[in-house]
């Protein structure tokens, strides 16, 4: 499937810990996106909701939940769950409906009220659940997993805790300029080094928080956009949601231990690299065409890994990019100019949608103090549990 769809509206509810229902956050983001698009709610013919899984029954049918909150008007609804890639799966579903001629105007919404602290598995014994196994058998909570990744980079490439701290410093500086960010305060490398160790070598300021928040997009066909007076809208050109290609010999989500190399030649690319490659192939562009990127910085060390996975540099050179300032605002290829998860925290169903909101504002030239000069193309990337991952390419 190929073809552009227009992004006519983008809206968010600010991230934080507000203690209210995810429905309230999602409805506010949806109304903001509709207002941004200049679209009346009654013109929306489909609502795609990215599910939240911890807030009771409505979270399992997020499309209908948000449609009801906005007022039943006959639109079709779809609900999507794909762990941290839920928002991108929702965008892909909306795009598919538009390109298939099922709807001209689709509202995409994701919202969450996250638990306090780090995510933990639900109760009960589930030996077939990779997440349960990771927590209970390996003892690999999210911070422990992030720490293992950081240690591997240190051993393989010579990265240092000081390199990781530079990622936080960079993202905090961008987040301080973003009114939707939860944390809007600059930090220094010394601040990172002084924060508590959580999972050696990572400290508290190296790891993202959990947050409440919401994001929404109004996507339309190109014909509708032109009729609506948008002659040159931001366009989504590619959405990649590929799964891992086995075998995998390195501990990695969604695998605990899989190695079929004795029987099958290893795949040349990592899972995350394959996500981006599929998006580039569909969009007909490459890393050299990018103006900016929004990647999934669950930890500072993982952001460096993403630089390599999306093709900004060769394996092992991520730290060099951040040391040179290449990925900072004003650098050669700014990354996470929104502030990233370092500044927002995780609101799982919303975060991949929020990444596309940032691309939209940047490509419009409407990002204010954090604007990337002359932005024409951007990529988002993230990885979730159970083989979910996503990359979205937007252009103008």
d(CA 330, CA 337): 10
DSSP state of 372: P
The residues pairing with 395 across neighbouring beta strands, listed in sequence order, are: 235, 377
pLDDT in the model for residue 58? 46
Q: Among 232, 215, 4, 235, which Cα is nearest to 90's?
A: 215
pLDDT in the model for residue 56? 44
pLDDT in the model for residue 1? 44
Stated as kind and residue range, the H or E segment containing 295 is: strand 292-295
Q: Is the peptide bond before 197 cis (omega within 30 degrees of 0)?
A: no
Q: Please state, in angstroms and as integers, the Cα–Cα distance from residue 20 to each residue in 29, 181, 346, 389, 395, following that order.
A: 14, 17, 16, 28, 35
pTM for this predicted structure:
0.93
pLDDT in the model for residue 158? 97
DSSP-derived 3-state class of residue 64: helix
pLDDT in the model for residue 244? 76
Asked whether the beta carbons of 382 and 295 are under 8 A apart, the reply is yes
Q: Are strands 377-383 and 76-80 parallel, antiparallel or unpaired?
A: unpaired
Which residues of the chain are under the pLDDT cut of 50? 1, 55-58
Q: Alpha-carbon dihedral of residues 123, 128, 130, 136, nearest 10 degrees?
A: 50
Which tokens sit at 298?
Answer: 């669950």
């Amino acid at each position: 499937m190929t073809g552009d769809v227009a992004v006519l509206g983008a809206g968010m509810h600010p991230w934080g810990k507000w203690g209210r229902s995810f429905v309230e956050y999602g409805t506010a983001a949806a109304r903001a996106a509709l207002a941004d698009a200049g679209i009346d709610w009654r013109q929306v013919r489909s609502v795609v909701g990215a599910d939240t899984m911890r807030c009771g029954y409505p979270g399992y049918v997020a499309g209908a939940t948000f449609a009801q909150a906005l007022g039943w008007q006959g639109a079709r609804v779809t609900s999507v769950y794909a762990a941290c890639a839920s928002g991108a799966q929702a965008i892909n579903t909306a795009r598919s409906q538009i390109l298939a001629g099922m709807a001209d105007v689709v509202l995409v919404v994701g919202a969450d009220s996250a638990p306090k602290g780090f995510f933990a598995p639900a109760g009960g014994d589930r030996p077939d659940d990779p997440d349960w196994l990771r927590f209970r058998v390996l003892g690999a909570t999210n911070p422990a997993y992030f720490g293992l990744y950081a240690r591997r980079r240190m051993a393989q490439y010579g990265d240092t805790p000081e390199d990781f701290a530079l990622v936080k410093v960079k993202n905090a500086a961008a987040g301080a300029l973003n009114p939707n960010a939860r944390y809007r305060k600059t930090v220094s490398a010394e601040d990172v080094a002084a924060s508590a160790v959580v999972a050696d070598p990572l400290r508290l300021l190296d790891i993202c928080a959990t947050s409440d928040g919401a994001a929404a997009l109004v996507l339309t066909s190109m014909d509708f956009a032109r009729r609506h007076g948008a002659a040159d809208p931001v366009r989504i050109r590619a959405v990649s949601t590929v799964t891992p290609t086995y075998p995998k010999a390195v501990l990695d989500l969604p695998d605990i231990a899989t190695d079929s190399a004795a029987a099958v030649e290893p795949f040349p690319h990592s899972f995350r690299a394959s996500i981006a490659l599929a998006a580039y192939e569909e969009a007909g562009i490459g890393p050299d065409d990018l103006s900016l990127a929004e990647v999934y910085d669950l930890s500072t060390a993982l952001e460096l890994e993403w630089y390599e996975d999306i093709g900004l540099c060769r394996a092992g050179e991520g730290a060099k990019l951040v040391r040179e300032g290449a990925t900072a605002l004003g650098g050669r290829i700014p990354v996470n100019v929104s502030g990233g998860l370092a500044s927002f925290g995780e609101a799982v169903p919303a975060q991949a949608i929020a990444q596309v909101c940032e691309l939209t504002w940047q490509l419009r030239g409407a990002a204010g103090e954090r604007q990337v000069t002359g932005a024409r193309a951007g990529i988002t990337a993230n990885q979730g549990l159970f083989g979910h991952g996503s990359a979205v390419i937007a252009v103008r």
